Amino acid sequence: MVCVLKATTHMATLFFQVHNYTASANTLAAQASCTTQKMADPSHTYLYLGVALVSLLILLLSKRRRSPEALRLPPGPWQLPVIGSLHHLAGQLPHRAMRDLARRYGPVMMLRLGEVPTVVVSSRDAAREVMKTHDTAFATRPLSSTMRVFSNGGRDIAFAPYGDYWRQVRRIAVTELLSARRVLSFRPIREEEVAAMLRAAGLAVDLQSAVSALVSDTTTRAVMGDRWKDRDVFLRELDCSLRLAAGFNLPDLWPSSRLAGRLSGVVREAEKCRDKVFGILDGIIDQRLQKAESGAGVDGEDLIDVLLRIRREGGLQFPLYMDAIKAIIFDIFIAGSDTSATTLGWAIAELIRNPKALQKATAEVRHAFASDGVVSEAALGELHYLNLGNRETFRLHPPAPLVVPRECREPCQQVLGYDVPQGTQVLVNAWALGRDKRYWPDHSREEFWPERFNDGEAAAGVDFRGVNFELLPFGAGRRMCPGMAFGLANVQLPLASLLFHFDWEVLGLADPADLDMTEAFGITVRRKSDLLLRPILHMLLPSLDSSGPPILHTAAILAPLPLATAHRADTSSDDPYEIDVLPMCVASD
Ligand code: HEM
């Protein structure tokens, strides 16, 4: 606000100065010509010319002084023409390079990615200013060239510009699509899919592929039901979309350049992917509409049913057209699948590398469910150590290390005293915050040590639900992740079940501490290498649900285990779901 006032005052001053000087110059010129004619005194001519020149100089200087350089922009490394600061990021993953740069230039740092001005925020206080104090000023998002295609021009939730439309779709997400009740209604799907994954484990398994398949199958069934053709094509095209949406594409670095757009071809590829995905969705939606017309009731609504019902009921400020429905479904896959699978991969890898933590977590799960013989989702909240482990995984490995970009939507906003002009992209480096020694003084901050969150330790009470700005795996504020309960459910049940039923050994490594933890570049930052493990059966496996065979994935199986004696999962429990829904998730304005 102060900044806007300053800018307005500057403009007003400049306006008056320009007018005054122009007027004086005109007057002087007129007087000069008049006087020249009347008196023809050369000394007067020089005087008037001198005054005119000085006025012009003052005008130019004042213009210079009041140009954008007068803003107090955040510091940053030197820039090159055309590529801006990109050369400072070469050779490292962006969140790592930005952390190193921030150590030199401070917690609010200015970069130019190609031609895009970008502010990177790397301290708890600065993150609080962006996501809480000035939340509305930073509540919109830049729309990349590929996301523009996938979101049908921002008709989804994640990339809709801040405003009434976004408020409406966000409310639908929070109250209908991703509410605690809805997440709970998908519990049988999760239990069947986890049972299928456990039973598909062979003598050796790539656990990263297995959990990725698990999460996409669970999400697919929750969104569009059990059986439909083209499922494999759909998942392949989604994968392609995720690949295209990740990374720095030429048109996003030089948005004003038509050449960059033409050279890259990424938009054309994105359109092809989108058309295939949307074509398949059209088929599924048509079937549902026909079913609804024929009067057949919907038993057990999936998310497509929910969206079509909301559309039918009407009464919305913005009618829910099909292009919006498809963009929202696309969003749920893009925002929901990879994030959960990435978290699961890191959680398992960290436990395997840290035998003491693995032993504690395993003992806790086995003790809690020994008498049932199966992990019950309703009781997962009681697993104290495993929940600390989840927090520690999010601290070290937030799946979206730079959160999701925000953009300054006000003429100028201040962060820690620096001016951030309108249109600047803002990145919060959640990965750097999770490893900053100022906030994590105990033990080694690079080490996986869930005990740091225990009562009496420095990080006791630090949580990931958007109130502690040093731990931001789900972001914070108005644009915070509305799918947190869904995501946590996708992580907790499989993780506890893997520990309950199996002991795990790393293949080909004498010391599990040597497990490769290199990060890969992508829309989420997952482990680069496979997670090849040998499962050793400890407890009989749950059976597959007889009411409808879940989808079995064979990609992860290297050699199948002989089927263990069936043990039915109890899915009839009425226990309340443990995961809270944050009031903060609801758009509040
Ligand atoms: C471990 C799992 C997950 C993580 C770590 C995660 C993380 C995030 C983050 C960091 C943001 C940006 C928040 C911000 O800008 O402040 C976000 C936004 C979002 N997430 Fe998630 N997410 C997860 C699971 C899910 C799931 C399962 C869904 C849906 C099924 C989902 C849907 C969304 C949507 C729609 C947004 C955009 C919200 C908006 O812009 O208003 N997420 N998520």
Ligand 1 centre from 483 Cα, in Å?
Answer: 6
Q: Are 255 and 115 in contact (CB under 8 A)?
A: yes
Q: Are 235 and 113 in contact (CB under 8 A)?
A: no
Q: Whose CA is nearest to atom 11 of ligand 1?
A: 481
Contacts of 232 (CB under 8 A, 6+ apart): none
What pLDDT shows up at residue 548?
42
Segment holding 286, helix H or strand E? helix 266-293
If one residue of 216, 464, 474 were mutated to test the ligand 1 pocket, choosing by the most ligand atoms within 8 A of its CB, it would be 474
Beta-bridge mates of residue 504: 535
170 lines ligand 1 (CB under 6 A): yes
Q: What is the DSSP letter of 372?
A: T
479 lines ligand 1 (CB under 6 A): yes
Q: Are 553 and 200 in contact (CB under 8 A)?
A: yes
Residue 147, both tokens: 């996301």
If one residue of 428, 431, 481, 488 were mutated to test the ligand 1 pocket, choosing by the most ligand atoms within 8 A of its CB, it would be 481
Contacts of 508 (CB under 8 A, 6+ apart): 532
- Pick from 346, 173, 333: which is nearest to 242 by CA? 333
473 lines ligand 1 (CB under 6 A): yes
Alpha-carbon span 465 to 480, nearest angstrom? 9
Contacts of 343 (CB under 8 A, 6+ apart): 390, 393, 394, 397, 399, 473, 487, 491
> In a 3-state reduction of DSSP, which class is residue 532?
strand
Q: Are 583 and 238 in contact (CB under 8 A)?
A: no
399 lines ligand 1 (CB under 6 A): yes
Alpha-carbon span 18 to 295, nearest angstrom? 72
Alpha-carbon span 395 to 279, nearest angstrom? 39
What pLDDT shows up at residue 445?
86
Residue with tokens 């490893």: 435
- Pick from 141, 106, 131, 134: which is nearest to 120 by CA? 106
Residue 115, both tokens: 């031609």
Q: Specify burial of residue 108 (Cβ count, 10 A radius: 0-12, 13-18, 19+).
A: buried
Segment holding 49, helix H or strand E? helix 42-65
Q: Are 226 and 305 in contact (CB under 8 A)?
A: no
186 lines ligand 1 (CB under 6 A): no
Q: Please state which architecture CATH assigns to domain 164-585.
A: Orthogonal Bundle (1.10)
Ligand 1 centre from 400 Cα, in Å?
Answer: 9
Alpha-carbon span 90 to 83, nearest angstrom? 11
Contacts of 364 (CB under 8 A, 6+ apart): 383, 384, 385, 386
Ligand 1 centre from 474 Cα, in Å?
Answer: 6
Intra-chain end-to-end CA distance of the chain, in Å = 19
Mean pLDDT by 10 residues, the chain (589 residues): 39 34 35 38 58 53 54 96 96 96 98 97 98 97 93 95 97 96 94 93 90 92 81 85 84 91 89 92 88 66 92 92 95 91 96 96 96 93 95 97 96 94 97 96 87 91 95 98 96 97 92 92 89 92 58 35 29 28 31
Ligand 1 centre from 343 Cα, in Å?
Answer: 13
Residue 481 assigned to a binding site? yes
